[in-house]
Amino acid sequence: MKFDINALTSKLNRVDKELREIDNEEKRKKYGTFLDSKEEMVQLYILFMFFGVHSDIINQFPVTQEYDPD
């Protein structure tokens, strides 16, 4: 029986590449992408900037009821 090492190696490399692509796709579905996390960080930054700039207006809102911290 004769085996072509180059053909077997290329098939293994192709299978390995496909498995890595599948793993990467599953990770993207599970964790999201880098850009998704950047978008969330920008939204949080804008929110904190708003609260920092408009803290005087926010402090003017009436507190209707206070709760015990138990």
d(CA 2, CA 52) in angstroms, rounded, equals 74
Cβ of 32: how many Cβ atoms within 10 Å? Answer: 12
Tell me the average pLDDT across 12-35.
87
Condensed to tens digits (0 to 9), the pLDDT of residues 40-53 reads 788 888 888 888 88
pLDDT at residue 22 in the model: 93
Confidence of residue 60 (pLDDT cuts 50, 70, 90): confident
Tell me the average pLDDT across 26-49.
80
